[in-house]
Chains A and B, each alone.
Chain A
Amino acid sequence: MGEETRLSEEFEITGGDFINGGMASCRIKNILKEIGIDAEITRRVAIASYEAEMNVVMYAKKGIMKFILDSHRITIKVEDEGPGIPDIELAMQPGYSTATPEMREMGFGAGMGLPNIQKNADIFNIVSTVGKGTNLEIIINLNNKNA
């Protein structure tokens, strides 16, 4: 497949910016709708990318979200400059959260972020270095719906 039919975009995410948090995932969702990607897949991408974006907003200084669409799959990569996750296994447990009480008050940090991403992704990779940051890779296949 040629470059013409591969689509990629990059979004900057600012840590602590709860006002604009969610804009990148919303933009991605709209692109998928315009292209005519299946509604269920679009919803999974919307949820996974929103959770990933809000994780950056909540915990990191800043981050970059890359969105790549090719004929087989949608890939979302998020690289942030943040505190990193000391124990990924623990962080992946539903309900585990290090969110502050203020964040919870606002409805964030229910500890469902990473599990939610995993649930909606076909492939989910996470690499984190404490003190440096976290990299996520979320892949959702286009053809087989929930692989």
Chain B
Amino acid sequence: MPDPIFYHSIKVDEKKCIGCVVCMKVCPTKAIRIKEKKAVVNAERCIDCGECYRACPYGAITPLTTKTSDITRFKIKVALPSPVLYSQFGSNVMPDQILNALKEIGFDYVYDEALACEMISIAIEEYLERNKSPRPIISSTCPVVVRLIQRLFPSLVSLIIRMEPPREIAAKNLKRELSKEHKISEQDIGIFHITSCPAKMVSINKPETMEKSYLDGAISIKEIYNQLMAQLKRKEHNFILQTQSQASGIGIGWAISGGEIRGIKQDASVSVSGVYDTIRILSDVESGKIKNIEYLECLICPDGCIGGPLTVENRFLAKSHILKLIRKFGGKNRIDISYVKQLYEKNFFSFERNIQPKPFSPLDPDKNEAIRKLKKKERILKNLPGINCGVCGAPDCESFAEDLAKGEKDLTIGRCVFLGE
């Protein structure tokens, strides 16, 4: 059963949208239609991949992340920066400087997510060793991939690793420790992910695997960038360069595609990035075409989170900065492995509840009716020109035929400019 309520990470600004069809064309799940010259997103089909946001030439797609002004309601404010942040200020600005700058702009604590990434690398290995469940096991890090699997590949849901991603594990740990240390309630601690990813907001507002997320918001790198830059500039002259940030190259490497599997020893691991390639490989897994792969890391954005829609730095430069940091900080774990194993024993990393498949609604809830509609769709499709121009308001002739077959309100075949009203 699809949920009645949907949360999403983007909104169409109707004042800015001119109905140019660009977003509709790039949407991988065909969730967008143009109705009365405005883009309309079908909430059920949207997986929050951010492709429309990237593509819109008019800035009409707005990401819904936490504003820095929203954080004041917490007594203790914690920033949890994704390692992506380290790639945004050129290759000479070190993680320590950035963590420091975050603190200066108003956070009480700053915790390096890269450390949690390292922990999870160890935990993934442990998981692979202990669970002999069918392969490949699929990463749960990217919330969009999780949603994509629930929607488009429901039969693969059981392959997703039943382990929370680094951001949640870090936040869970921080809430515990800080509330003990300061003797205040966990509710008074606000933990904010500093992120390149609007979809994190969805996984925070409506987590799939737990009652309530341990994070309290996600702040866009774009939003915080200028403030950080100003801080970094100010400190430029009197800051002593430190390279002994606690994380190693393994944790920092999670910012780019392949980072997650770099930290684990299993040879038969594969990393894929970008929404279309992810769909392709998952489709192959579904057909049983992919054999002998242990672990599959999929990230929706090109090159991984570093290609997230809310970044500022050029993606290719950013990647080169991260690679440089990986070399600099080395591939030796700085996390105590036995500590991670202890936590693992206590199920500290595990999902609280399983992910449920949520397939797209079929053409009709009644099977016989669905078959009738499918046939109708095919008949209609035969009459359409197959040019996929999008002028009818659907992304391609097939989607238009489908909308017609479903009996969409006020829609007639005359909407096709080649057939005429």
Query: What size tier do the contact residues of chain B reach?
Result: 20 to 34
**Cα-based distance from A83 to B375 in the complex (angstroms):** 36
Partner-contacting stretch, out of A28-36, A58-66, A131-139: A28-36
The answer to whether A36 touches B361 (Cβ under 8 A) is yes
A47 contacts chain B at the CB level, 8 A cutoff: yes
Cβ–Cβ < 8 Å partners of B289 in chain A: 22, 50
The answer to whether A7 touches B368 (Cβ under 8 A) is no
**Cα-based distance from A35 to B406 in the complex (angstroms):** 12
A107 contacts chain B at the CB level, 8 A cutoff: yes
Majority secondary structure, A binding face: helix
Interface code A35-69, partner B: CB below 8 Å = 1, 0 otherwise? 11101101100110011000000000000000001
The answer to whether A50 touches B371 (Cβ under 8 A) is no
B365 contacts chain A at the CB level, 8 A cutoff: yes
**Cα-based distance from A6 to B363 in the complex (angstroms):** 15
Interface centre among A7, A29, A39, A107 (most CB of B within 10 A): A39
B270 contacts chain A at the CB level, 8 A cutoff: no
Query: What size tier do the contact residues of chain A reach?
Result: 20 to 34
Q: A39-B154, A47-B288 are in contact. Are A34 and B359 (CB under 8 A)?
A: no
**Cα-based distance from A33 to B282 in the complex (angstroms):** 15
Interface code B349-391, partner A: CB below 8 Å = 1, 0 otherwise? 0000000010111111101101110110000000000000000
Interface code B255-281, partner A: CB below 8 Å = 1, 0 otherwise? 000000000000000000000000000
Interface centre among B357, B360, B367, B375 (most CB of A within 10 A): B367
The answer to whether A7 touches B375 (Cβ under 8 A) is yes
Q: A69-B371, A71-B368 are in contact. Are A39 and B359 (CB under 8 A)?
A: yes
Among the listed A7, A25, A42, which residue makes an inter-chain contact with B374, where contact means beta carbons less than 8 Å apart?
A7
**Cα-based distance from A61 to B183 in the complex (angstroms):** 75
**Cα-based distance from A143 to B362 in the complex (angstroms):** 17
The answer to whether B287 touches A22 (Cβ under 8 A) is yes
Closest to B362 in A: A36
Q: A26-B283, A43-B155 are in contact. Are A35 and B371 (CB under 8 A)?
A: yes
Cβ–Cβ < 8 Å partners of B360 in chain A: 33
B346 contacts chain A at the CB level, 8 A cutoff: no
CB distance from A99 to the nearest CB of B (A): 13
Query: How many A-B Cβ pairs are below 8 Å?
Result: 69
Q: A36-B359, A39-B154, A71-B367 are in contact. Are A26 and B374 (CB under 8 A)?
A: no
Interface centre among A5, A29, A69 (most CB of B within 10 A): A5
Q: A36-B367, A39-B154 are in contact. Are A50 and B288 (CB under 8 A)?
A: yes
Cβ–Cβ < 8 Å partners of B287 in chain A: 22, 25-26, 29, 46-47, 50
The answer to whether B286 touches A35 (Cβ under 8 A) is no
The answer to whether A43 touches B370 (Cβ under 8 A) is no
Closest to A53 in B: B287
Q: A4-B372, A7-B375 are in contact. Are A35 and B367 (CB under 8 A)?
A: yes
A1 contacts chain B at the CB level, 8 A cutoff: yes
Cβ–Cβ < 8 Å partners of A22 in chain B: 287, 289
CB distance from B196 to the nearest CB of A (A): 31
Q: Top 5 A-B pairs ranked by shortest CB distance?
A: A36-B362, A43-B155, A39-B154, A47-B288, A5-B368
Given contacts A4-B375, A39-B155, A50-B288, 5 further A-B contacts (CB under 8 A): A33-B360, A36-B367, A46-B286, A46-B288, A47-B288
